[in-house]
Amino acid sequence: MNRPIERHGAMVLKSCANFAVLLAFLLLAGCASTSRQLMPAPNLYSGPEAPPLFSDLPAELQGNELDLLYVTDRAPETTGSGELRYGYERSLSAAFGSAIVSIEPAMSWAELERASLQKKRETKLTLELTTVKELGRFGETPAPVVLIDGEPQLDPAVLEASSAAQQTFHQEVRRRLAVSPTKEVVMFVHGFNNDFDDAAFTLAELWHYLGREHVPILYTWPAGRGGPSGYIYDRESGEFTVHHLKRLIRDLSTMPEIRTFHLIAHSRGTDVLSSAVRELALVARAREIELPDEFRDSHIILAAPDLDMDVVSQRIVAEQLGRESKNITIYTSESDKALGLAERFFKSMKRIGRLGADDLSPEYLESIGYMEGISFVSMDTTASPEASHSYFHSDPYASSDLILMIRYGKEPGAENGRPLTPVTSGFWKIEPGYPYQETAPEQP
């Protein structure tokens, strides 16, 4: 008589446990804020052989304001004071514009550089999103179908509006390239439960510590709904946005003025980016063509990827996604708490963002060794649990490696000027003190 009740009780307990895991995951993995502190100074800039943070930077790129070019399919909103913002609702049309992040308090350029490099800052540097200005909007996708002379066709007015928006977008990219010292693009695709502001803060601080030499493009998709069902909503928003990101990458890759791309994705954003690149690759291969050289010379960076290992083995490895870019770098941490919770919630064998060399068979490791340009870079984040999922920019050792790779074009290995510790074929490790050898404290 009691067995049905016992089974029901067990089911209730299991559901409660799953809900608790999901709630903890929501609290750990996402972030939404109107301001935040500037990330710690990368260790690269404070060592004995530290390069300068800024070098011959044009006056237009100096100052406490960082002007980002954004593209989004978030629906626009208006704040109580009448300012433009973007929420978590989805828009069938993608918009682009300028998002200005300010580093406060205001100070001279020399003072800002000095404060940015301090390990223990005398003055707190706060990021604030001060201005969001929409410069154009592409037509809805899919475009409406109308009858013309009795034949169903895509609405010419919508197509014309999209073409005009594309020209305006190209003009804006070219304007920014004209003052860029490198003529390269750094694009950031955020993860789940990030709002527009927080995604802008992450790209702004990365661009700041990359010396502001590249053209920064923020691709922000409709995430950040929050609540117990927020992760499910964001996962579907990630699927929704793939078409718009794919169109953006394809569009940018036709611009010969762009020397190369550095595409950075974090957490669930890695699924968005890899799906978009995969679909572009499949279409190109079906037409027996390659993606443009400007894109194939790109660097794809997947930071703390919230991707199931089995799914990746089929969608990325089996389909040889690495052919579509010069390098793919995957940052992992076995101590990533958010991804550990994701493994429990989705019953995943392993999330790629927690992958270690010990998780793979010798045969699999051997095959990775044959894949030119694919690198796994791991680090231990147990010493800074608050940054265990965002370490790629909030940990001064990890951010140093990112800068060595993007700004200075360094390949893994001490002999190449990027002294990662080799683990096994295709796997590297960031040690404490990186990129300089950490010295033991002096004995009294």
Number of alpha helices (DSSP H) and beta strands (DSSP E) in the chain: 12, 14
Q: What is the Cα–Cα distance from 432 to 214, expressed in whole angstroms?
A: 28
Domain that holds residue 105: 3-429
Q: What is the pLDDT of residue 1?
A: 47
Q: What is the pLDDT of residue 289?
A: 62
Q: How far is CA 196 from the centre of its chain?
A: 13
Domain membership flag for residue 206: yes
Return the number of other C-beta atoms located less than 10 Å from residue 386's C-beta. Answer: 10
Domain membership flag for residue 399: yes
Tell me which residue of 429, 431, 430, 427 sits closest to 357, measured CA to CA. Answer: 427
Regions of the chain with pLDDT less than 70: 1-33, 286-297, 315-325, 348, 366-372, 385-386, 438-444
Q: What is the Cα–Cα distance from 389 to 408, expressed in whole angstroms?
A: 25
Q: What is the Cα–Cα distance from 197 to 195, expressed in whole angstroms?
A: 6
Q: Is beta strand 84-104 parallel, antiparallel or unpaired with respect to 215-220?
A: unpaired
Tell me which residue of 188, 240, 194 sits closest to 214, measured CA to CA. Answer: 188
The CA dihedral of 34, 177, 273, 286, to the nearest 10 degrees, is 160
Classify residue 12 by burial, with Cβ atoms within 10 Å: 0-12, 13-18, 19+: exposed
Q: What is the pLDDT of residue 272?
A: 96
Domain membership flag for residue 438: no
Domain membership flag for residue 391: yes
Q: How many domains does the chain have?
A: 1
Q: What is the pLDDT of residue 150?
A: 84
Q: What is the pLDDT of residue 80?
A: 84
Q: Answer for the pair 265, 219: CB distance below 8 angstroms, yes or no.
A: no
Phi, then psi, of 2 in degrees rounded to 5: -90, -10
Q: What is the pLDDT of residue 360?
A: 78
Rg of the chain over Cα atoms, rounded to whole angstroms, equals 23
Domain membership flag for residue 215: yes
Q: What is the pLDDT of residue 441?
A: 47
Q: Answer for the pair 199, 183: CB distance below 8 angstroms, yes or no.
A: no
Domain membership flag for residue 440: no
Domain membership flag for residue 400: yes
Phi, then psi, of 196 in degrees rounded to 5: -60, -45
Domain membership flag for residue 83: yes
Q: What is the Cα–Cα distance from 223 to 236, expressed in whole angstroms?
A: 9
Q: What is the pLDDT of residue 343?
A: 81
